[in-house]
Structure 1
């Protein structure tokens, strides 16, 4: 009888142990924060109100999971399961671009469509790439197509694809996000330089 109890007790403990699962990995969320380098423009090159529309993106790039690729397989894109942007990249990049353009002083006023004002200029764009490239060394690749239109005269002032690629300080996702912030800063600065020559 005692042996039977021990047997069933051991069996019960083994069944409980087999049902135990490892803890579910914790979700991680990341923000974009683009620092403006240099000084604001002395005179706004765009005389009037500039509206920055929500950027477009396709497929994986439009989603909240952070996108990565392997250096050995550059045509294959993947997304992390537990690492997310705090919002859609299309909204986050638009908001960072609005903040950057306001600080740079490119127009009298920089707004978003939600303000429901009649703009003089409209900026639209598309995120072509926004990803970490895992390899040795780890890097990030960003490509944005940006178009600027004068709504008053109904003419295109600028359309250009800006691309940057840079090594990151490490292989982790936090280093990739820092690299993306730096890369976006370079793209935004190049865009402001192009606007100032219009």
Structure 2
């Protein structure tokens, strides 16, 4: 039996209706916009320049050790503290390792903690070396929704040595978990910055309470290169 034939206008109308249906299905809801956050850390007021320098000499802040997903630009959230998941539309403006290092360098300079604060690439052996490892940098909540953030958790470990890496001057680990009142990811990002600022303030206080051996007290035979 031959296939039924429809007049051309009816066929065109059917094609147009099908195309309209496909277009309606493909448009749907617009995709959420991406959001980018700066890690903003001010010099802690409690550890200001008025308290005096930590030690004389040059301090080098090494690149922060931030491994795995912690150093990716997507913000992280967790429910259990064991499993980490990434937000789909919320990102740091730069990788955390670089942002955290830059922030610590600026804080040490702003507070006059050392005679000079430098980063790797400086062509002179420093008097002191500061190493840091980031263990936690995450938002905590029951879900990954844009309004389910309960707190912000940051944990960082520091080791300060002499410029030769032979003598450990200070080693400390810090953790902060401020609450996020409004529950939004944007407020969570600000709380992460606040937690880092608090940790840097505690680190500075411990540095000021530490006895440093000055450059003039180095053993003979170990001149600065």
Unaligned runs of 5+ in 2: 1-6, 143-147, 211-225
| SS class of match (1:142) | strand
Residue 51 (structure 1) aligns with: 60
Residue 188 (structure 2) aligns with: 176
Q: Pick one of 105, 116, 125 that aligns with 1:118.
A: 125
Structure with more strand by fraction: 1
Q: Pick one of 152, 156, 180 that aligns with 1:140.
A: 152
Residue 93 (structure 1) aligns with: 100
Say whether the 8 Å CA contact 1:41–1:106 is kept in structure 2.
no
Superposition RMSD on alpha carbons, in Å?
Answer: 2.0
1:53 CA displacement: 0.7
Distance 1:35 1:16 in 2: 50
Question: TM-score w.r.t. structure 1 length?
Answer: 0.90
Distance 2:22 2:201 in 1: 61
**CA offset digits 1:146-166 (Å, max 9, x no partner):** 010112583100111111111
Moved segments of 4+, more than 6 Å = none
Larger displacement relative to structure 2 (140-149 or 11-20)? 11-20
1:10 CA displacement: 1.9
| SS class of match (1:132) | strand
Unaligned runs of 5+ in 1: none
Residue 149 (structure 1) aligns with: 161
Question: TM-score w.r.t. structure 2 length?
Answer: 0.80
Larger displacement relative to structure 2 (113-122 or 6-15)? 6-15
Q: Pick one of 59, 72, 76 that aligns with 1:63.
A: 72
Greater radius of gyration (CA): 2
Distance 1:8 1:153 in 2: 75
**CA offset digits 1:108-158 (Å, max 9, x no partner):** 111111333321100001000011101477101100010101125831001
* Cα pair distance change 1:137/1:171, threshold 3 Å: closer
Distance 2:63 2:122 in 1: 13
* Cα pair distance change 1:193/1:15, threshold 3 Å: closer
* Cα pair distance change 1:24/1:105, threshold 3 Å: same
Say whether the 8 Å CA contact 2:149–2:185 is kept in structure 1.
no
Distance 2:186 2:124 in 1: 37
